[in-house]
């Protein structure tokens, strides 16, 4: 395709493909996309034009129109490693704030945030700033990504009206 970039129109999920030609390293935020121009770690520029907004996981591959594959890797990011007693309780507080979280056997990873670090320290967590790839848990039923959301009257849709019959947590107003 002389004169124009190759295009990826589909994704092959981790474990469902083999034989990548190149790799693209993306942050957690950059791994959600539909249309975008990317450059591989080897310098090849290509376009992505997926049918819908898609969350790419580390280990997925973008399938280019010429049949080649570009592996998706998670970029190093500024994170907080959280450990200590009461980790389940600490995880609840992280989830209650709709914060993406990667879960290990005896640790949690979240994106670096001084407010969260202060809160978690007050809860008794051991909090350490690190740099590492970030691959948090998916959304409900392990599909997709956890997205923060607003709880303003005009910006959400759960099954109730706003006739004053309930209150939201102050952080969600």
Distance CA 63, CA 77 (A): 26
Whether 165 shows a pLDDT value over 50: the answer reads no
Q: Report residue 140's pLDDT band, with 50, 70 and 90 as the boundaries.
A: low
- Residues 26-37 as b/e (b if ≥16 CB within 10 A, e otherwise) read bebeebebeeee
Task: Please state the domain extents for the chain.
Answer: 6-74, 77-142
> For the residues 13-36, what does the mean pLDDT come to?
93
CA pseudo-torsion sign 101, 104, 106, 107: negative
Question: Exposure of 94 by Cβ count < 10 A (0-12 exposed, 13-18 middle, 19+ buried)?
Answer: buried
Residue 8: strand pairing partners? 48, 64
Q: Which fold has domain 77-142?
A: Alpha-Beta Plaits (3.30.70)
Q: Which CATH class is domain 6-74?
A: mainly beta
pLDDT for the residue 123: 95
In tens, the pLDDT along 27-75 reads 999 999 999 999 999 999 999 999 999 999 999 999 999 999 999 999 9
Q: What pLDDT does 154 receive?
A: 41
Q: What is the pTM of this model?
A: 0.75
């Amino acid at each position: 395709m002389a004169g124009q970039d190759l295009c990826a129109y589909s994704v092959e999920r981790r474990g469902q493909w083999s034989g990548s030609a190149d790799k693209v390293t993306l942050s957690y935020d950059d791994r959600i996309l539909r249309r975008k121009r990317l450059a591989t770690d080897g310098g090849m520029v290509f376009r992505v034009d997926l049918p819908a907004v898609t969350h790419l996981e580390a280990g997925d591959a973008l399938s280019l129109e010429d049949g080649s594959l570009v592996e998706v890797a998670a970029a190093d990011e500024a994170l907080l490693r959280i450990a200590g007693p009461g980790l389940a309780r600490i995880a609840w507080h992280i989830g209650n704030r709709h914060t993406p979280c990667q879960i290990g056997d005896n640790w949690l990873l979240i994106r670096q945030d001084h407010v969260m670090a202060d809160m978690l320290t007050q809860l008794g967590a051991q909090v350490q700033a690190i740099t590492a790839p970030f691959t948090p848990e998916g959304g409900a039923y392990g599909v997709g990504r956890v997205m923060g959301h607003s709880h303003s009257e005009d910006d959400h849709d759960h099954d109730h009206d706003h006739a004053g019959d309930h209150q939201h947590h102050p952080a969600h107003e």
